[in-house]
Amino acid sequence: MLKLGVNIDHVATLREARYRGCGQGEPDPVAAALIAEAAGAHGITAHLREDRRHIQDRDVWQLRQVIKTRLNLEMANAPEIVGIALRLHPEIICLVPERRQEVTTEGGLDVVGQEQALQATCARMRAAGIEVSLFIVPDPEQVAASARVGAEFIELHTGAYAEHFKDATGRRRELDRLRHAARQAHDLGLRVNAGHGLNYENLRAIHEVPHLVELNIGHSIISRSVTTGLAAAVGDMLALMEGYCG
């Protein structure tokens, strides 16, 4: 069964637009996480950025206390955040690149160029019983490097696929890249997640990509929930994921 991790960052973004620095406010991303979980989500994803632009420290500690599924902490490979992750003890972390000027995470992690640092973090997380995923573009060199540094998972960046979805040639090219990367990762003993830009229009074609364990989706679900409610938005996404035969 293909699992769904719901990213609640955009709930926190909306809260911080009005209540930044207040230590409280609405909407509450933790409450949103509980609704998503009750609606059938298999896990909750939150990105604790170094600049704390949306998710705050109090959010991740509350999430750790209340969710009953699986906490996936997206994070940069930065000493402060690594230390928080080791204390927080999520089930899994996903290491991503961070750029201060971006609105959301753009591009994949350069594992090839950071092997030594990533290997050290993977070893620390493994010793603490925390799984590690690396957010990468579907590139053979990045997949191979992910296996070398000791990650358990990769999360394939589906942004290029989403961007080219309406162009048949581009869609096929990007799906082929994802398929090949997923097969390579599987052969190397890595488990495979995917995410970024997936929505209610482009998700079905992702069923062509083999060996997927989990999709991490946030913006599309939170956007739909504005008009349909969060529980319905999660349920609609789960329905699209049914029948996956990876």
Question: Sign of torsion, CA 51 55 56 60?
Answer: negative
C-alpha distance across the termini of the chain, in Å: 9
Instruction: Give pLDDT, residue 189.
Output: 98
| Ramachandran quadrant class, 107 (left: phi over 0; alpha: psi -120 to 50; beta: rest) | left
Helix and strand numbers (H, E) in the chain are 10, 8
Whether residue 126 has pLDDT greater than 70: yes
Q: Name the maximum alpha-carbon separation found in the chain.
A: 48
List active site positions.
47, 74, 196
Location of structure tokens 């495979």: 192
* pLDDT 10s digits, 167-225: 999 999 999 999 999 999 999 999 999 999 999 999 999 999 999 999 999 999 999 99
* pLDDT 10s digits, 8-41: 999 999 999 999 988 889 999 999 999 999 999 9
What does the alpha-carbon distance between residue 234 and residue 244 come to, in Å, rounded to a whole number?
Answer: 17
Mean pLDDT to the nearest integer, 212-241: 94
Nearest to 196 by CA among 154, 243, 152: 154
Whether residue 107 has pLDDT greater than 60: yes
Question: Which domains are assigned to the chain?
Answer: 3-241 (3.20.20.70)
Q: Mean pLDDT in the chain?
A: 95
Whether residue 69 has pLDDT greater than 90: yes
Q: Binning pLDDT at 50, 70 and 90, where does residue 164 land?
A: very high
What does the alpha-carbon distance between residue 10 and residue 16 come to, in Å, rounded to a whole number?
Answer: 10
What does the alpha-carbon distance between residue 21 and residue 156 come to, in Å, rounded to a whole number?
Answer: 34
Q: Binning pLDDT at 50, 70 and 90, where does residue 101 land?
A: low
Whether residue 102 has pLDDT greater than 60: no
Instruction: Give pLDDT, residue 10.
Output: 95
Whether residue 95 has pLDDT greater than 80: yes
